[in-house]
A and B are shown apart, each in its own frame.
Chain A
């Protein structure tokens, strides 16, 4: 009987030792907060780029797909991006001949002008994308002979899309 009482006492003491200060039970959890900042880009391009008048004779001497650099014209696309420095410009021609923008009786071939001169191949899903940085990009449009050469105004339409990288 005596020993069993002592046992109880000891048990009580060890229980107390398990609960330092007999403090009340606290509970903790962790919260994670997240947000995604998305880059925003805007673009401004001339609504109309006019190469002017080109004499028919300049074309008739050429083979189909030959170009007339003497009548090329450059224009500037202005860009503005927030949250990023680099972006992709994607050129999407409404009608495309030989990788150039078709104007019906004449086509317009596009080149990026600057530190990386290159042809924008509108017929290629990758080569019609131009990766760039900065606030402007210069494009040169060069007329190209098509088999449907005829006197009259030729107009090609394209859409340029900017995507932040």
Chain B
């Protein structure tokens, strides 16, 4: 009997042990659901020559030119190289430090730099002008044409700056 009792209690003990892991699972199932998220961002990059120098323009080139009139023969082209990943389109925003009649004005306003994309003049606005392009286009060629400012320039160096921002669309 004693041994039977012993074996019975041993059986109960075995049962108890078997139910313990089950209890543990019940507790885990009551816990909250877990959401894991990630956002894959489209990335665009640009590279451009930081200085576009038109070189020397003789003051006589401005003879008989009215305010904001463009001066031919002193153009220069440059390329804005673009690369985008994860987007099919991008925007290029050109923000001039100063404008004059849709062109980038030199700080002294005696000279301006007008920009062209192909044969189309880019009308620069002080708040920024945005061009939209397919990402298959990886280079934007811009032509710079000097223009007379509000007054005729005296001899000297003239400069103006513009920020170019690329963003995937």
Q: Which A residues fall within an 8 A CB radius of B?
A: 1-2, 5, 8-9, 12, 15-16, 19, 22-40, 82-84, 164
Contact = CB atoms under 8 A, between A and B. Distances in A.
A162 to B, nearest CB: 14
A1 B24 CA distance: 12
Interface residues of B, number: 58
B154 A39 contact: yes
Contact of B39 (A2, A19, A28): A19
B116 interface: no
Counting chain A CB atoms within 10 Å of each CB, the highest count among B50, B60, B74, B78 belongs to B60
Given A9-B35, A12-B37, A30-B161, A37 B59 contact: yes
Contact of A26 (B28, B32, B106, B167): B167
Interface of B: 28, 31-32, 34-39, 41-60, 62-63, 74, 78, 86-87, 104, 106, 110-111, 113, 144, 146, 153-168
Contacts of B164: 28-31
Contacts of A5: 31-32, 34
Q: At the interface, is chain B mostly helix, strand, loop or mixed?
A: strand
B156 A37 contact: yes
Given A24-B42, A24-B87, A32 B57 contact: no
Contacts of B111: 35, 37
A26 B165 contact: yes
A29 B160 CA distance: 14
A26 B155 CA distance: 39
Given A25-B43, A164-B155, A33 B59 contact: no
A47 B56 CA distance: 32
Given A22-B41, A25-B44, A83-B155, A35 B162 contact: no
A34 B32 CA distance: 63
Contacts of B49: 31
Contacts of B158: 34-37
B160 A33 contact: yes
Contacts of B45: 27
Given A24-B167, A32-B159, 13 more contacts: A1-B28, A25-B42, A25-B44, A31-B50, A31-B52, A31-B163, A33-B53, A36-B55, A36-B57, A37-B157, A82-B59, A82-B63, A83-B153
Given A2-B31, A12-B37, A30 B50 contact: yes
Q: Find the residue from B44, B59, B74, B160 having the highest chain A CB count within 10 A.
A: B59
Contacts of A164: 155
The 8 closest A-B pairs by CB, nearest first: A83-B59, A39-B155, A26-B167, A35-B54, A83-B155, A82-B59, A28-B165, A34-B159
Contacts of A33: 51-54, 104, 106, 113, 144, 159-162
A130 to B, nearest CB: 19
Nearest to B111: A35
B155 A12 contact: no
